[in-house]
Structure 1
């Protein structure tokens, strides 16, 4: 049967699934909000990708693997750069074990050209999917001129990235678990220039057939060779670390000192070693990828991962090939439900495992491997070269691992082992189910988890910690009694560091204790910040020009109650509340009423982001809202966000938690 299918997002995974389905005889519309030039410009994205045999296997379904290989650089292994610029090479003995360094734009363009040549395929670049009407099986598009078009399809496939519109529609269902957060790590791109070789011919600055890695304890850098003899490097650092360096004015000096063999390869070291920001890394986990018959997601829309294992493009391409396989036997629209459910059941554990493994890989890349490391061993080789599934490898790397959407959302230990004298540590072993810390216990020590998995039971939620991790550090900052319980979910090995010993170390050797104190404090601040943002829930205030007097009157009567809430409103209303009512507004968003039609829709989407991420508790409406606000309020109600049109009902607005 020929289905009418919309694929949203024309990146590598979206292009591949669209081309495969079109060649199966389906009528496919492939849409992307970007035009071709923007898609290949690689703005704010890592330029070089590592395509593994897993990814090549998916591309072979389209017969594109050989074409991609000829346009890529084979990688024989990994080369680690020590701080003194000496090298540690880890090259597998099996010469067939190769990844391929591929330009992102080139990979996208090659797939897109192949896809566009399929009969029955309509390519719409510059078309944005702004919503789905799932009951009517419709897509709402915005065309390149800003006009809106509603169109019916049998199936919608969301391959539209970490900020997926298709996923936003899917997770409106209260039965689908979904978590999106921004990693504490970010990245900056550097380009290492070709060097002058014999007779002036350009040569690569480092061995051109390997992945090069600079582990530096507090950050790391990974570089891939490019086709012009340059190296494209990704510098990965915590946002808080870069902020501290920039505030001290030491960013360039610090990076020049820690990356001595890189400085001379850069065209503009004063610029590249002094980034003003890091590109954020979104992490997405989704507990189900389909709605039972109309919508399905894949790639970053379903499992945006940290790039620390180089797996994002490979698992996305594999998603596309596997979905095409599940849809191959479809004979009628009613068959879509079982096929999509089977695909989701197969791929959800793989996506969550890839996210968990990728985040944990940061700890491995921060530190040099031992000199006697076996280059043929390790989980990454299993994933890339031996066909192991992500959900097979995860329990080996993360003891007690289970595919949980909210897994590992508590910062663990991002800067490697604590710099502390082992003689001050007490080794402990605990069995599964044992309590490590109980609520109201005296705060006397922190614990370093070396092996296993712990559960932290906070008043409002439970979180998981996987080794290596620190727990119990909050007690050092003034809490005499424990406020959370910590339980072993698997057999664990820990080191106990008594606060008395920590304080003695600070007195005896303040300079030596400084890195230790800094690491503990950074972790505590990060955890407190994360807990605040997870708990943050805003109350949206909407008032038209004629109703702001009523809003001010209400604010005067309920100033104490409103002062305890996180308020969000448009800039004009925020100014009135802060100037005339003495209230602080936590979020100012541009009013959709103050923009033209195209900009209004974009601003509307930013307002809805609060609802999609679970951060919006309720809305209070004063008077008759401006016409531009009405679609937003309707959309909030459709998402089960309470919209109170009687402002006197303040009790219904205050979040219960």
Structure 2
């Protein structure tokens, strides 16, 4: 146990709530502040993308004994279900038999995490607006408005878990030598809904992540426990096949009839959902440093907001907590060293998952409808099954292992160069699982075996 400190966590989202549980179990007094109402008392819908929990997230849950509690509110998803425009449907399994990500409703999970944190003894303060912080003294400044009177809240340590537009980071940005970048994508997203059947069952396969890939736009769906699906339409804001073109009911219905005809029977409230729910933005945010002395640290989206196309925003934030907890075990009360090592460890991996997430939109929206891409994935799986010590597909490295993201990205790029050459082999479609192809891959691997160790 550490020497008890008085610690504030700004932000009651998933990362803030889980971090609070860790800190409380280490013996600290933990207060969580959030400017919004208690989400357990309000309706949570309209601008959500379902979450997927993978190995990195489960590791953070396991370390505090919460894994089984969370598994109860999730649904295992072991494959992509790809809806092609010609009406055909193909599946692509994610990993080896038994490997699956878990679909979780963001609202359901966040409410559960707050409940578990309160049970652990964490104090939550909702509708409390934090506008600024004194970095040197870990003092928060709270008030009803940014221009009004503020009161001081003094702490030993403050964690900024207040998301991509963090007020804690906003203060840190005003330091010298603080790097910050924010990039908005030309894509936006809108939540849609597939209701359950009358008997509460799912209308489409609940154990698939459903994708309707259409090039520069796509529809995605993940199952919920109540038999429904949360769907997300990703599209450019402007130009051809964009949100700006879908201004009235006729344009919307005609668009879906053309590009997503098989959804007509399963999304009965398309028009109402589309025009009721907001069109939301996607941004990538990077910064450094993430900490100030032994007083203040950023964690989760406040340090590294990414786009959702790999399903790792939450998992990367939870892994921040895992690494922080390991460093606490190593360095005890030396918070300055803990914070310094934390940011040095996590920054390159946060940058790597940001890049992987950006790339994965192209894979999901375009490549999953490409026969050559599907063949490439089939070859990778076949070779990996035969030589698990020599090849792990990139998706498995990212999702079903704890290998640092930066290593997964580097090895994935190397493996992809090999696969690009393999796909040029004459008649590869007819001899993809032959001894000839196996030998070629093995030969190429031996030239860079050090990278794969």
| Same-fold call, TM cutoff 0.5 | yes
Count matched residues: 391
Secondary structure of the structure 2 residue equivalent to 1:112: helix
* C-alpha contact 1:17 1:324 (8 A) present in aligned 2: no
Equivalent-residue separation in structure 1 for 2:161 and 2:149 (angstroms):
23
The equivalent of 2:408 in structure 1 is 393
Q: Greater Rg, structure 1 or structure 2? A: 1
Partner of 1:359: 358
CA distance in 2, matches of 1:92, 1:124: 40
The answer for the alignment partner of 2:263 in structure 1 is: 262
Deviation sequence 1:127-166 (CA, Å, 0-9, x none): 121100123331112379x873202211110100011011
2:124 maps to 1:123:
yes
Cα distance in 1 for residues equivalent to 2:90 and 2:340: 46
CA contact 1:305–1:312 (8 Å) conserved in 2: yes
TM-score, L = length of structure 1:
0.56
Q: Deviations over 1:532-590 (max 9, x none)?
A: xxxxxxxxxxxxxxxxxxxxxxxxxxxxxxxxxxxxxxxxxxxxxxxxxxxxxxxxxxx
Name the structure 2 match of 1:444.
none
Of 184, 204, 207, which residue of structure 2 is paired with 1:206?
A: 204
Q: Take 1:125 and 1:253, find their aligned partners in 2: how far apart are those partners?
A: 44
Whole-Å separation in 2 of the counterparts to 1:126 and 1:275: 25
Residue 267 of structure 1 and its aligned partner are, at CA, apart by: 2.6
Structure 1 residues 350 and 149, CA, compared in 2 at 3 Å: closer, same or farther?
Answer: same
Q: Which residue of 1 aligns with 2:8?
A: 6
Counterpart-to-counterpart distance in 2, 1:114 and 1:205: 32
Q: Could you tell me which residue of structure 1 aligns to residue 100 of structure 2?
A: 98
Q: CA deviation at 1:251?
A: 3.4
Could you tell me whether the CA contact under 8 Å between 1:48 and 1:101 is conserved in 2?
Answer: yes
Matches within 5 A, 1:243-262: 243-246=243-246, 250-262=251-263
| Residue in structure 1 matched with residue 228 of structure 2 by the alignment | 230
Relative contact order (alpha carbons < 8 A, sep ≥ 6): 1 or 2 greater? Answer: 2
Query: Given the superposition, is the C-alpha separation of residues 302 and 19 from structure 1 closer, same or farther in structure 2, using an over 3 Å criterion?
Result: same
CA distance in 1, matches of 2:140, 2:45: 27
Q: CA deviation at 1:233?
A: 0.7
Structure 2 distance, partners of 1:108, 1:244, is 32
Task: Give the CA deviation at 1:384.
Answer: 0.8
Partner of 1:339: 338
Provide the alpha-carbon RMSD of the alignment. 2.4
TM-score, normalised to structure 2, is 0.80
1:348 maps to 2:363 = no
User: Structure 2: which 5+ runs fail to align?
Assistant: 382-391, 415-453
Equivalent residues in 2 for 1:532-571, closer than 5 Å: none
- 1:279 aligned onto 2:280: yes
CA distance change for structure 1 residues 318 and 276 in 2, over 3 Å: closer, same or farther? closer
Once the two structures are superposed, the pairs formed by residues 428-439 of structure 1 within 5 Å of their partners are none
2:297, 2:339 within 8 Å by CA — same for their partners in 1? yes
> 2 CA distance for matches of 1:138 and 1:276?
38
SS at match of 2:176: coil
**Residue in structure 2 matched with residue 290 of structure 1 by the alignment:** 291
* CA displacement at 1:326 relative to structure 2: 2.0
In structure 1, the residue matched to 2:322 is 321
Residue 217 of structure 1 corresponds to which residue in structure 2?
215
Q: Secondary structure at the match of 2:120?
A: coil
Task: Show CA shifts across 1:281-321 (max 9, x none).
Answer: 12111132112221110111011111111111111111122
The CA distance in 2 between the partners of 1:46 and 1:277, in whole Å, is 10
Find the aligned partners of 2:293 and 2:406 in 1 and give their Cα distance: 23
Query: In 2, Cα distance between the equivalents of 1:341 and 1:258?
Result: 50
The 5 A counterparts of 1:150-161 are 150-161=152-163
Deviation of residue 6 (structure 1)?
0.8
Which whole-Å CA distance do the structure 2 matches of 1:189 and 1:238 have between them? 15
Residue 278 of structure 1, CA deviation: 2.2
In the aligned structure 1, how far is the partner of 2:19 from the partner of 2:206? 32
The Cα shift of 1:369 comes to 4.2
Q: Is the 8 A contact 1:53 1:98 kept in 2?
A: no
CA offsets 1:506-557 (integer angstroms, 9 cap, x no match): xxxxxxxxxxxxxxxxxxxxxxxxxxxxxxxxxxxxxxxxxxxxxxxxxxxx
Q: Are the structure 2 counterparts of residues 261 and 274 from structure 1 closer, same or farther at C-alpha, using a change threshold of 3 Å?
A: farther
Q: Runs of 5+ in structure 1 lacking a partner?
A: 400-657
SS of corresponding position for 1:74: strand
- Contact persistence 2:216–2:365 (CA under 8 A): yes
Matched, 1:88 2:103: no
CA contact (8 A) 1:33 1:127 kept: yes
CA distance in 1, matches of 2:89, 2:277: 30
The partner residue of 1:149 within 136, 148, 151 is 151
Q: Which residue of the partner structure matches residue 597 of structure 1?
A: none
Query: Alignment partner of 1:178: what SS?
Result: strand
1:455-491 C-alpha deviation (Å, 9 max, x unpaired) = xxxxxxxxxxxxxxxxxxxxxxxxxxxxxxxxxxxxx
Q: Is the 8 A contact 1:255 1:273 kept in 2?
A: no
